[in-house]
Structure 1
């Protein structure tokens, strides 16, 4: 796992503005020049110049005066993911997990103190969720993320909390630092983590670590509606399947 990047001594302001524009287009699900300029508190002329440059380079598309993030990012994202060995060896096991459980099977890794869905596979009975491959989430809000945090050194977890905080997603989200560390100690002891409606109401999730030696490389989970993901099913059916899959991924990650 990488360390939290330090802030540059001389940040490039134009680069920062470019990324702020792209993140804003994503969060607003598209925006006009006026909306973007107002949201970022920059001149309309500047917003227009940035957008036209991004459009010319293929990273933004315009339709009816509204700008959206372009599909060229799929090329960058696909390339980045293809370089992750964990993705290659885990994909077949994710598919088996989804087919066996009928729910969503998920693989999360940590980057810059956030959890990134590296891969997902949908089972026959899986419900529609807001998650997608490549999405970033706060680590403390998910079983996957808490699993990763549980296997990181305390000082690394502290730095992640300092940077990203512990905001609530639902009333069940852990938002207290010491409560989180108590939960992480239990997760490490049990070698699994639960998310009981902590990020999405009505959704339960259980996760296990994917290790390389003593280091964690990612976390594997199955998620589904509370009505189907009760404690008995999790303990008797889901967890054994998750541990089997994690074991195979770990072996392939090391030896194949």
Structure 2
């Protein structure tokens, strides 16, 4: 059976499978009956899908409850490393974390969201506030804004219209015109900052990774606001972050550079 969804035709059975997977991701381990209630399907239907997922090792059963299996981790890892920018950026990301003493992140944009794909830490880094592979609002972080600013104008407006500007903290930009003005400033400066806009007490500085017309993602650091301050936050780290993005751009543009060839 098919169902029309977002302008296309979809398979209802497949929709149910993804509803089950996404519910387990959000809610954690669940029994068949409570999972069925959550997805709005009969327990027998949900049990049938779970049996298939169990046989394919995408879910595991423990103490009478079902949860996602580690096979998803394997898939995610393979997809992540299939991205040119991830393998190319890793040494630069490591160096950035070591040089700044803060947690360094590599992010991409997907479906109008900011998605962390790699991070590197050092001993004194702030406890990680991000999660690899998570989809987060693009307008309230240095990572997201640094990418958003360099997307085509029609894509920027489309993302804002579809996603809105939800408020995460008292510092989040929720005004359309104010955000567009800041994006223009980011394009001029070459980097973006977040001053406690996503998480209270956390600041970040990110620079986009751009080759030709393609925005690959962004690289930057995040840390406690009481440590990222004054000239360190306003000058030193922005300069170091832009150096990092420029280095990755060079490696993406000239692959032989990765092998130490000139």
The TM-score, its normalising length taken from structure 1, stands at 0.92
Q: Distance in 1 between matches of 2:177 and 2:87?
A: 36
Tell me if the contact between 1:170 and 1:201 (Cα under 8 Å) persists in the aligned partners: yes
Report SS of the residue matched to 2:8: coil
Any idea what SS the aligned residue of 2:9 has? Answer: coil
Query: Secondary structure of 2:120's partner?
Result: strand
**TM-score, scaled to structure 2:** 0.90
CA distance in 1 between partners of 2:130 and 2:104 (Å): 12
Matched residue, 1:15: 14
Count of equivalent residues: 251
Q: Which has the larger radius of gyration?
A: 2
1:80 maps to 2:105: no
Distance 1:126 1:41 in 2: 43
Does the aligned pair in 2 maintain the 1:101–1:123 contact within 8 Å?
Answer: no
Distance in 2, Cα, partners of 1:146 & 1:128: 22
Structure 1 residues without counterparts, runs of 5 or longer: 1-5
Deviation at 1:125, TM superposition (A): 0.8
Provide the alpha-carbon RMSD of the alignment: 1.7
Counterpart of 1:166?
165
For 1:230, the equivalent position in structure 2 comes to 229
Partner of 2:139: helix, strand, or coil?
Answer: helix
Determine the structure 2 residue equivalent to 1:35: 34
SS in 2 for 1:10: strand
**SS of 1:87's equivalent?**
helix
Match of residue 112 from structure 2: 113
Q: Which residue of structure 1 lines up, in the alignment, with residue 151 of structure 2?
A: 152
**Aligned 1:94-133 pairs, distance under 5 A:** 94-133=93-132
Contact 1:61 1:68 in 2 (8 A): yes
* Structure 1 residues 199-218: aligned runs within 5 Å: 199-218=198-217
Residues 152-206 of structure 1: CA deviation (Å, up to 9, x unaligned): 1121112222332222222222223222212211111121111111111111101
d(CA) in 2 for partners of 1:67, 1:173: 37
Q: CA deviation at 1:8?
A: 4.8
Write the distance in 1 (CA, Å) between the matches of 2:129 and 2:58. 23
Match of 1:239 in 2: 238
Structure-2 separation of matches of 1:160 and 1:33: 36
- Mapped to 2, the partners of 1:11 and 1:154 lie a distance apart of 31
Per-residue Cα deviation, 1:211-256 (whole angstroms, up to 9, x for no partner) = 1024321111100011101132123421121111111111001102
Give the SS at the match of 2:6. Answer: coil
**Shift of residue 13 of structure 1?**
1.5
How many angstroms apart in 2 are the aligned matches of 1:182 and 1:95?
Answer: 32
Contact 2:60 2:66 in 1 (8 A): yes
Following superposition, the deviation at residue 90 of structure 1 comes to 0.4
Residue equivalent to 1:3: none
Gaps of 5+ in 2: 256-262
Q: Which residue of 2 aligns with 1:195?
A: 194
Alignment check: 8 A CA contact 2:190 2:242 kept: no
Q: Which has the higher contact order (CA 8 A, sep 6+)?
A: 1
